[in-house]
Structure 1
Amino acid sequence: MNRPPHGSRHPRRANTRRTDYDESDVRIRPNPRGSRARTKIRPKHDDAVAARVVTVDRGRFTTLVGEGTSDEREVTAMRARELGRTSIVVGDRVGLVGDTSGAPDTLARLVKVAERDSVLRRTADDTDAAERVIVANANQLVMVTAAADPQPRPRMIDRCLVAAYDAGMRPVMVITKADLADPQEFLSGFEALAVPSVITAIQPDGRIAGLAELRAVLTGADSVLVGHSGVGKSTLVNAVAPHAGRTTGAVNAVTGRGRHTSSSAVGFRVFDDDGRALGWITDTPGVRSFGLGHVRPSHVLEAFPSLAPGEVDCPRGCTHDEQECGLDGYVAAGHAGEKGPARLDSFRRLLRARSGDGEDADGPSPST
């Protein structure tokens, strides 16, 4: 009986021929799941047509191609698979390929998103880290509030100011319905901020007073309107962009709140009475709250310039909500003006809401 060599229990394996594997061999598959090439290299799409996103609806993007030219047209596009979950919002500058004629029932591919100059963001609440991008590349935040019906909410303005400064945007305040109440007392609470303001009112003949001033503020700017439902944002948009056709609604007499008439953000060109383009304006759905969970606490004070100089008297690492805070003495000495105590209270409410230690109601406050 022939026995295998000493130390060998598997004679067949002992006779197996060794092979030097070479990945250049067409018979070798380095990837056990298949031979499909895996690469991060994407096409550059140098021939992509430049466009601007004006609205987003269920995965379809309405864009404007050839802005300001005789060939200006709206083109509907869908996101290219290679973009994955890349965020695309109103105001984004994008690149399109495919059918960009804008003809009915055509669909282009959105393959590029340019770097943004600015991003206006908000969160669901102050403790939520998940950000929601409202609009991209805007340089002016127009805070719209009504003088009455619904009542103005100063702390909502404070929140918008914080978001504007954090995004590097110029804030502007627009007061609507001045025919129902005098807005001067409300505006006096923000005098120290030197924020430009425009007051509008409905005249007896139905025309809107203050439109010339509003158009002047919007000229040369890329603006976004933010405010509660029922304050008249859509009415203003229809006045400066008659082609917009935004639906308007009334305020609920029981709750004092408006109902949503805009379900998504939409960008429109602003024109003067002679049809000349002045700028861009984005109408946004009415908001009940404006979370600031994405804003660092150190940036919140930037929205309160009447308080900021008092920070030099604060101890190192001051949270601005402790007994040793220098802001108390600064305000008590009258350096922050007559509205100083109310501004300090609003500032601290924002800080507590961000940390989850308190609730910052954005309702009307007689002290401000």
Structure 2
Amino acid sequence: MVRSKSSWDEDDVRINKSRQFGASNKTRPRTKDRPDYSSAQTATIIEVDRGRVQCLIQAPAGKKIITAMKARELGKKSVVVGDLVSIVGDISGDEGSLARVVTVLPRKNSLTRSIEDHANDERVIVANIDQMAIVIAAANPEPKVGLVDRALVVAYDQGIKPIIIMTKKDLASGDDFLQIYKDLDIPVFKTEKSSDLSTLQNELAGKITVLLGHSGVGKSTLVNNLLASSVNKVTEFGIENGERVTGDVNEVTGRGRHTTSSAIALPLSSSFDGADFGWIIDTPGVRSFGIAHIQAARVISSFPEFSEAIANCQKNCTHNEPGCALNNWPTLTDQHLARLASLRRVLSIG
């Protein structure tokens, strides 16, 4: 028989002893006090390795690298390479010292991808970058339109300047492939192992550039060549024996083997305070790059020459349909129409 609440007496009430007699040794009283992080130091994340991160901070004597752990409240996937964070604790940088990341500052942009094209499974790869260098090979493996197009969609969506670096130009010209992107005015650099990279280095100087590409296209070799003048001075950045580890291409599948296991930021100068100081962020080779989380309208709106036209589009226009105002906008020149066609092709493939 179930008794009604009206028939309960004091014997039916379970008493919390810690509340009756005050907090016991096992129960900590609640407090409204919050940690004071007013003296926290701002740092940049340059590497994430499971529970530890490497941070770059500006110290009185110059820049230095420290090791830190993420505060529990931030969660497991809360920080990525490129993040600006607030850190507290031991920031001496001495061996065995450990600071703590307590806050992730707002990101100006981020390079993200969705897994298996599911918009709800979005992964952030890096943050706060100036340029995206899409690295493809002229051959072995063959360049893939799908990866380049998807990377461009993310770049335009986030306001990141895209550039294309084609490696292994000694194996093929790659000109037919690159012709696809001529109307988008994307800077293109063609390299091989013995190339003079001075022009490319000038493009990267003073900027934070993320390298993105399939495994086996030669990203690690490219990184080694770009860092040739400084790798021996920055061994703390995970460079083994003066070089990043390189890989090859599987002859059966035509796919590259992974040689970089996590994103890492590397300095483009032998000195942190060099006049041409810049960073490249090397990322693991990607096998899939979903963009289900990207809105097509936001991508096209990043091109100012189309802003007046898209202002006349209907609500929720995909900008790739018969009723789109861009189809009949009188001020669009032939060059504009060519760029629009390229953008629409990029979006349709994504």
Q: Which amino acid aligns with 2:267?
A: R
Unpaired runs of 5+ in structure 1?
1-9, 14-25, 351-368
2: CA distance, partners of 1:115 / 1:77: 19
Deviation at 1:28, TM superposition (A): 7.7
The two structures, once aligned, show a CA RMSD in angstroms of 3.7
SS at match of 2:152: helix
Q: Is the 8 A contact 2:152 2:162 kept in 1?
A: yes
Residue number in structure 2 paired with 1:89: 80
- Compared CA separation, residues 347 and 316, structure 1 to 2 (3 A): same
Residue number in structure 1 paired with 2:235: none
Residue number in structure 2 paired with 1:231: 217
1: CA distance, partners of 2:86 / 2:309: 48
Deviation at 1:50, TM superposition (A): 2.8
1: CA distance, partners of 2:150 / 2:304: 14
Q: Which amino acid aligns with 1:289?
A: S
2: CA distance, partners of 1:138 / 1:343: 22
1: CA distance, partners of 2:100 / 2:341: 54
Residue number in structure 2 paired with 1:116: 107
Q: Is the 8 A contact 1:227 1:233 kept in 2?
A: yes
Residue number in structure 1 paired with 2:294: 295
Residue number in structure 1 paired with 2:16: none
Deviation at 1:115, TM superposition (A): 2.0
Deviation at 1:303, TM superposition (A): 8.1
Unpaired runs of 5+ in structure 2?
1-6, 11-18, 232-238
Q: Is the 8 A contact 1:240 1:272 kept in 2?
A: no
2: CA distance, partners of 1:320 / 1:250: 41
**What is the TM-score of this pair, normalised by structure 1?**
0.73
- Compared CA separation, residues 261 and 38, structure 1 to 2 (3 A): same
Decide which moves more: 299-308 or 211-220.
299-308
Q: Does 1:45 align with 2:37?
A: yes
Q: Identity percentage over the alignment?
A: 41
Number of aligned residue pairs: 317
2: CA distance, partners of 1:238 / 1:149: 19
Residue number in structure 2 paired with 1:187: 178
Name which one, 1 or 2, has greater alpha-carbon Rg.
1
Residue number in structure 2 paired with 1:366: none
Aligned equivalent of 1:159, options 145, 150, 159: 150
2: CA distance, partners of 1:194 / 1:182: 19
C-alpha deviations, 1:3-27, integer Å up to 9, x for none? xxxxxxx9x99xxxxxxxxxxxx97
Q: Which amino acid aligns with 2:277?
A: L
Residue number in structure 1 paired with 2:4: none
Aligned equivalent of 1:259, options 246, 254, 257: 257
Residue number in structure 2 paired with 1:349: 349
SS at match of 1:163: helix
C-alpha deviations, 1:269-288, integer Å up to 9, x for none? 10279993520110000001
Q: Is the 8 A contact 1:307 1:344 kept in 2?
A: no
Q: Is the 8 A contact 1:29 1:35 kept in 2?
A: no
Residue number in structure 2 paired with 1:248: 246
Aligned equivalent of 2:50, options 48, 53, 58: 58
Aligned equivalent of 2:195, options 208, 213, 216: 208
C-alpha deviations, 1:116-152, integer Å up to 9, x for none? 2221111113233221111111111111111111111
Q: Which amino acid aligns with 1:247?
A: V
Deviation at 1:232, TM superposition (A): 1.2
Q: Which amino acid aligns with 1:219?
A: A
Deviation at 1:198, TM superposition (A): 1.4
Deviation at 1:98, TM superposition (A): 2.1
**What is the TM-score of this pair, normalised by structure 2?**
0.77
- Compared CA separation, residues 36 and 275, structure 1 to 2 (3 A): closer
Aligned equivalent of 2:205, options 216, 219, 235: 219
Q: Is the 8 A contact 2:120 2:293 kept in 1?
A: yes
Q: Is the 8 A contact 1:77 1:108 kept in 2?
A: yes
- Compared CA separation, residues 50 and 306, structure 1 to 2 (3 A): closer
SS at match of 2:173: coil
Deviation at 1:109, TM superposition (A): 1.7
SS at match of 2:123: strand
Q: Is the 8 A contact 1:162 1:302 kept in 2?
A: no
Residue number in structure 1 paired with 2:29: 36
C-alpha deviations, 1:276-329, integer Å up to 9, x for none? 352011000000121112211323445899999997998775546666678889
Residue number in structure 2 paired with 1:131: 122
User: Higher helix fraction: Structure 1 or Structure 2?
Assistant: 2
Decide which moves more: 91-100 or 79-88.
79-88
2: CA distance, partners of 1:252 / 1:96: 43
Q: Is the 8 A contact 1:162 1:303 kept in 2?
A: no
1: CA distance, partners of 2:185 / 2:349: 22
SS at match of 1:189: helix
2: CA distance, partners of 1:169 / 1:300: 11
Q: Which amino acid aligns with 2:266?
A: F
- Compared CA separation, residues 272 and 212, structure 1 to 2 (3 A): farther
Deviation at 1:230, TM superposition (A): 0.9
